[in-house]
Structure 1
């Protein structure tokens, strides 16, 4: 498995794709991340065309097991961020 792209590498690739400098590409990336964070943390969802949908889901209270001791304990209800991958991206990876 290949190593994941770092933020620096992503900014450089984005700047090259946009035909812009790294500073404006970094600002654009930060703005997109901020918008997604605000929307998802507020309970909404964001669809990135061709990539997927990012959303927040609530998990109910449940029983979990401590792997070190084997003890059963109750875990409070919480929220988790999920992402559904777009069919176009799946097809491009598998095609």
Structure 2
């Protein structure tokens, strides 16, 4: 099964709404920027009936270089996490 890309999503939404792909691209980019910005500020973003986005913290930990086998420190990091609503699971 092929991946559904951002380009395909924009094309389909533009067709459905009767807008240009340029307008749809700007709208989608603005929505994604808001979600990322709010979660980076520590807020959870919930879209009722769809799911929620939040930043997830990963603690620093010991890892191993797969090429050399050498032990190394993997630094703490943050990543965007999505959890689908129960209606979508």
Question: What is the TM-score of this pair, normalised by structure 2?
Answer: 0.83
CA distance in 2, matches of 1:65, 1:89: 37
Unaligned runs of 5+ residues in structure 2 are: none
Moved more, 61-70 or 45-54: 45-54
* Shift of residue 52, structure 1, vs aligned partner: 1.4
Return the offset for 1:10: 0.8
Deviation by residue 1:54-91 (Cα, 9 ceiling, x = unmatched): 1101111211111111111122221122111111112x
Question: Would you say how many aligned residue pairs link Structure 1 and Structure 2?
Answer: 89
Task: Show the 5 A alignment for 1:1-95.
Answer: 2-90=1-89
Alpha-carbon distance change, 32 to 82 in structure 1, aligned in 2, over 3 angstroms: same
Higher relative contact order (CA 8 A, sep 6+): 2
- Please give the TM-score of this superposition, normalised by the length of structure 1: 0.79
Kindly indicate which of the two structures has a greater share of residues assigned to helix: 1
User: 2:16, 2:49 → 1: CA distance?
Assistant: 17
Runs of 4+ in 1 over 4 A off after TM superposition: none
Runs of at least 5 residues in structure 1 that lack an aligned partner in the other structure: 91-95
